[in-house]
Amino acid sequence: MLIEATTLTTQDNIAYASCAALTQGYRDGDISPVEVTTELLTRIGRLNPIANAFVYLDPISTLRSASLSEQRWRKRQPIGPLDGVPVSIKDLVAVAGWPLVRGSQALRGTPPPAEDAPAVARLRSAGAILLGKTATPEAGSKIITRSAVHGVTPNPYDLTRTPGGSSGGAASALALGMGPLALGTDGAGSIRIPAAWTGVFGVKPSFGRVPAFPPSIFMPHSVVGPMARDVESARLMLQVISQPEPRDPYALPYPFDHFRAERSVKGLRVGVTPDFGVPSPPIEPAISNAVTSAARYLEGEGAIVEEVKPAWPCDPYEPFMVFWEATYAGFLQNSYSPSAVALMDPDLQAIARRGEDIDIVGYHKALMQRLSLAAYSRSLFEKYDVLLGPVTPCGPPDLLREAPEGFEPGDWRWCPFTYLWNMTAQPAAAVPWTNGPGAMPIAVQLVADVGAEPDIFRASRALEIASTAPRRPPALP
């Protein structure tokens, strides 16, 4: 899976270069941030009419940032590990001066935010170049990427299928070489699912690892995290965006040791599980085989691997749906007028209506269930450093469906392996591993204890070396 251009003299090599390759090219004088940014903007202009990954571009400010970075590199004074590295921003995250539409008709034409979200501010401070904003379903409420504002985003490996969501625009842009980094969000799997279905790497950090401000009704489930085509690029991005924010009351202590560059998995304790011990629909054989082969590879590299069968205190689906629906009910009621809500996706309105019917006793029951799930999950990591299992039980559904065959919109029972870790606050990653039917990428999921992102990167780098997942999608028409 790892793509490392040996020379950055062609557009294709620029498009698929890692962060390390780009900054080495700047350091050696082989390429400049302006040249890289210009090539990527050209590529976006050529591919985006079909890919529909980007929903907003500001070439003037983007090239201005690239020019400033180029001047710093000429003086040999880069200001951070991402200086001159382009990054896209999912359109659920505030960028000062850029529209924040969230895929919503209700937000079209509203004034742009005056302040960057903390993660965006950290990227700017590190010299990263903001390329543009990527597509999301309305308010990040779906596992596909389609909205009435921006239309539908297809999977670059098969234009008749979805890339997943809600960070589907970010994942598609990475897969198509429209930038080396993307900032996504994950409230139930929104980084990991599209990463898995488009063959890129994505990490949902521990809750509190990436600072957030202002406080959000989506806390603690939803977090901001890095997406990239290689593990090291994502690690560098997390290093930057996780720096302190004094206004975040939930921020984890900083610094922490995820910056170490340990690559060996010798002695790493890996618990492999076919289904994370939760009820799920039948898992496609290719996905089960991928988990098994990834476990065998890690064992061959010196990891201590054994099967684990978690015994959760309750079915995570019940409390998850309470929080999912109640959160959207509160979000819509507290943030929008009734006339604005009426403009929104009917499925989103339905989620909120169901949330309005949840009483305080039912919400308290869900809270206690979530706490019991989190307590049990922490106990698992007394014995294991990471858990290894599937990201989803199936591949991406048809482009026009809201969920796989047999499931209705808003029914998350088809995808139980991701939202669990949003409720327990633990870090989890989708790691491209192999080919599936139709040459579609298949990923495996790695989960670690709260604050233990180093173990995820350690195992991810080992898998990356041996991955046979496709390196890039076929050429678009």
Q: Which residues are tagged catalytic?
A: 90, 166, 190
| Start-to-end Cα distance in the chain | 24
β-strand partners of 54? 134
Please provide the size of the chain in residues: 477
d(CA 171, CA 145): 10
- C-alpha distances (whole Å) from 400 to each of 143, 161, 457 are 12, 8, 35
DSSP 8: -
**Between 19-28 and 33-51, two packed helices, what is the crossing angle to 10 degrees?**
150
54-83 b/e (C-beta count within 10 Å ≥ 16 → b): bbbbbeeebbebbebbbebbeeeebebbbb
Which secondary-structure segment (H or E) carries 60? helix 59-74
Which secondary-structure segment (H or E) carries 89? strand 86-90
d(CA 287, CA 270): 18
Report the candidate in 116, 460, 438 with the shortest Cα–Cα distance to residue 262: 460
Report the candidate in 280, 228, 269 with the shortest Cα–Cα distance to residue 420: 280
DSSP 400: T
